[in-house]
Structure 1
Amino acid sequence: MSTPAIARDPGLATERTALAWRRTAISAIASAALFTKVAAEGGIDWRPTGLLPLSAAVVMMLVAAIAMARSRSLHRGAHRGAHRGTGPLLLLVSAGVAAVGLAALAMVLTHS
């Protein structure tokens, strides 16, 4: 006895992707807030204790803006058509997160 084929809703994958971008935006905003707190406590100046966390906060806010824009475009149905333009977007977000990771590593190494 074979099981009946379940109809797949292609909109669910888009919804999951949009929600993932929204979660990325929320975590980026939270990270930016934490980096801003570290910068304020360390003294916002040109030393690494102030400049690196402040720079990381700016990058995370840019990542959040990109993630929210992508989430909104997916909710509007802009996902149709071979995902044009997502390559540079993903590269930009990945580079931003990697830069923040390096900044955090530099902060930990210079702080101890």
Structure 2
Amino acid sequence: MTDSALQAQIDAATAYQEFFVPALFQEWAPRVIAAAQIQPRHRVLDVACGTGVLAREAASCVGAAGSVVGLDPNPGMLAVAVRLAPGVEWRQGTAESLPYPDRSFDAVVS
């Protein structure tokens, strides 16, 4: 991917985070995490994490003893996610080819 193509993806992801996340997902994220029954010390995978709205919410629940991984195929989305939550592990990948063995996580959200 060229630098200009990556920058275009980052710009689009930044706009998505700035305008769409607050309007569509901000109130929804805590409900999803509550429904997944995520607890302190859990290991959580957020598949197709985008800019990481669910991963960030999960990280606030699992605490320092837990871990959260955000997985997304789009490097622009991941660049924004890293900027917003450097303590979460961000990986490029797809749901069809998870780079983790079975039973690596206590909960998976998307």
Greater Rg by CA: 1
Higher helix share: 1
User: Given the two structures, how large is their TM-score scaled by the length of structure 1?
Assistant: 0.30
User: Given the two structures, how large is their TM-score scaled by the length of structure 2?
Assistant: 0.31
Higher strand share: 2
